[in-house]
Amino acid sequence: MKTSVERAAAIVEIQQLAARYSLGVDSRDMEAVASLYVDDVHAGRAGRGRDALQQRYEENDSQFGRSVSTVTNHVVDIVDDAHATGVVYLRMDQQIEDGSWATLVGAYFDQYERRGGQWYFAQRELVWWFRTNRSHRQV
């Protein structure tokens, strides 16, 4: 990054990725979630690319009900003009199969790439710290 203004703009754009990701997951818009990644993203056993990643998310997220995600403490380190790393904390309240709710807390360890003038996720690793089930069911 050439100037502190460009660096600050990059950090804000990268932090918006995490907010848009959570919004996409909570609204079950997996196409929007996949669009936040580089176009050749590795999607595990589903293959490569955004379509494969979208399929993987749709399969995973079909296993639970509603969710409310909160992302905080997002630290971004700019490596160069096209690469950055970051850590962002996550707290998610998630409705599980039986209708009860669980609280999950963890952090994403991210790698970002700038392509075509826009920042994307290159890779995300989610590490869960704990999960608690709540005893109430939604009525």
In tens, the pLDDT along 17-74 reads 999 999 999 999 999 999 999 999 999 888 999 999 999 988 877 677 899 999 999 9
* pLDDT of res. 42: 94
* pLDDT of res. 64: 76
Residue span of the structural domain in which 121 resides: 4-137
In tens, the pLDDT along 73-92 reads 999 999 999 999 999 999 99
* pLDDT of res. 98: 83
- Looking at the structure of the chain, the number of domains it has is 1
* pLDDT of res. 104: 94
Sequence-distant (6+) residues with CB within 8 A of 125 are 108, 109, 110
* pLDDT of res. 46: 87
> To which H or E segment does residue 112 belong?
strand 100-115
CATH of the domain at 14: 3.10.450.50
Cβ-defined contacts of 22-29 (< 8 Å, 24+): 22/69, 22/70, 22/71, 22/90, 25/57, 25/61, 25/67, 25/69, 26/66, 26/67, 26/68, 26/69, 28/61
Distance of CA 74 to CAs 18, 28, 36, 43, 80, Å? 8, 23, 17, 24, 18
* pLDDT of res. 1: 63
